[in-house]
Chains A and B, each alone.
Chain A
Amino acid sequence: MLDFIQQLVSGIALGCVYGLIALGFVLIYKATEVVNFAQGDLMMLGGFFVFTFIGLMGLDYWLGFLFAVCGMAVFGMATERILVRPILGYPQFSIVMATIGLGYFLRSIAGMIWGTDDLRIETPFSAGVLKVGDLVLAHDKLSVIVATVILCVVLYAFFNYTRMGTAMRATSENMLAAYYMGIPVKRVVSLIWAISAAVAACAGVLLAPITFIHSNVGLVLGLKAFPAAVLGGFGSIPGALVGGLIIGVIESLAGFYLPQGWKDIAPYIVLLVMLVVRPHGLFGPSMRKKV
Chain B
Amino acid sequence: MNLFTVDGISLQFGGLKAVDNVSFSVSKGEIFTIIGPNGAGKTSIFNLISRLYDPTSGKLFFEGRDITEVPPHQVARLGIARTFQNIELFENATMLANLLVGRHCHATTQMWQEMLFLPSVRRAEKDHRRKVEEVIEFLDLQAYRDKLIAGLPYGVRKVIEVARALCSEPKLILLDEPSSGLNVEETDDMSFWIRDIRSELGITVLMVEHDMTLVNRVSDRVLALNYGKVLASGTPSEVQAHPDVIAAYLGA
Contact = CB atoms under 8 A, between A and B. Distances in A.
A291 interface: yes
A291 B89 CA distance: 12
B120 interface: no
Contacts of A291: 43, 47, 52, 84-86, 88
Interface residues of B, number: 7
Contacts of B86: 291
A285 to B, nearest CB: 12
Contacts of B52: 291
Nearest to B86: A291
Interface in A276-291: 291
Interface residues of A, number: 1
Interface string B69-88: 00000000000000011101
A43 B47 CA distance: 46
Dominant SS among interface residues on chain B: loop
A291 B72 CA distance: 14
A291 B51 CA distance: 13
Contacts of B85: 291
Interface string A248-291: 00000000000000000000000000000000000000000001
A291 B84 CA distance: 6
Nearest to A289: B88
A291 B42 CA distance: 11
Interface in B52-104: 52, 84-86, 88
B249 to A, nearest CB: 23
A291 B85 CA distance: 7
Nearest to B85: A291
Contacts of B84: 291
Nearest to B43: A291
B93 to A, nearest CB: 15
B196 to A, nearest CB: 26
A291 B52 CA distance: 10
Contacts of B43: 291
A291 B47 CA distance: 8
B170 to A, nearest CB: 18
A120 B84 CA distance: 60
A53 to B, nearest CB: 49
Nearest to B46: A291
Interface in A67-108: none
7 contacts: A291-B43, A291-B47, A291-B52, A291-B84, A291-B85, A291-B86, A291-B88
Q: Which 7 A-B pairs have CB atoms at the shortest separation, nearest pair first?
A: A291-B84, A291-B88, A291-B86, A291-B47, A291-B85, A291-B52, A291-B43
Interface of B: 43, 47, 52, 84-86, 88
